[in-house]
Structure 1
């Protein structure tokens, strides 16, 4: 399966989904004009990948900000991963947030409480 790569912009996150390594990265800001339009290809990739998972999946969530419409799409993304986990595959999320960003930390904690996959909260020092 091909790696999905989407270059980030000022409104959309960088996406690198590597099927061979089981590494899924979202990094940057998620405030697209149409969240569904942006996230549907990601969901389709995860759905296709779910049928051929060969390794543990580690999700690197390095979002600095996301809007309300993105939050629903991100939850849907986590639900797809939860379904993979429910079929016996190991799925985990590393949720990155800056040390003073309580909103992003709480967002990760909220997703962790909603979906049945383990989250590791990773506090980053501001540079």
Structure 2
């Protein structure tokens, strides 16, 4: 399976999904106006990746800012991961990175952790 890499820019996050290392990472900022179009290839890649049962993987979430529309797409991703763990015997761990003192980003991660049944690790950095 090919990896998925999207280089981030002003409005879109960097996406680095590696099928060989089983490390999926999103970083940067996400406030693109057309989130459905941007996230569609991500959902397609994840659907293919998650079609193989029993994978163990880590999802590193290193966002510094995202808008409401992006937030909804992230929830869709977490829902996909949760369904995979529940229905296909996979193991997933989410590392939620947030800048020290950025309580909004920490609270956003805690809200996602409450919404889905996935293991979340909250990791602050300076």
Report the TM range for the smaller structure's normalisation: over 0.9
With structure 2 as the length reference, what TM-score do the two structures score?
0.96
Preserved contact between residue 21 and residue 55 of structure 1 (Cα < 8 Å): no
Report the aligned-residue RMSD: 1.0
User: Which residue does the alignment assign to 2:58?
Assistant: 58
SS for the counterpart of 1:52 is coil
Which 4+ residue blocks in structure 1 deviate beyond 4 angstroms?
A: none
TM-score by length of structure 1 reads 0.95
> Alpha-carbon deviation of 1:20?
1.3
**2:117 is the alignment partner of 1:116:** yes
> Are the equivalent residues in 1 in contact too, given 2:55–2:89 (CA < 8 A)?
no
CA distance in 2, matches of 1:14, 1:54: 26
2: CA distance between counterparts of 1:11 and 1:54?
34
Post-superposition Cα deviations, 1:59-101, rounded to whole Å, max 9, x if no partner, equal: 0000000000000000001101111111211101000000110
The equivalent residue for 1:39 is 39
Displacement, 1:54?
A: 5.7
The size of the alignment, in residue pairs, is: 125
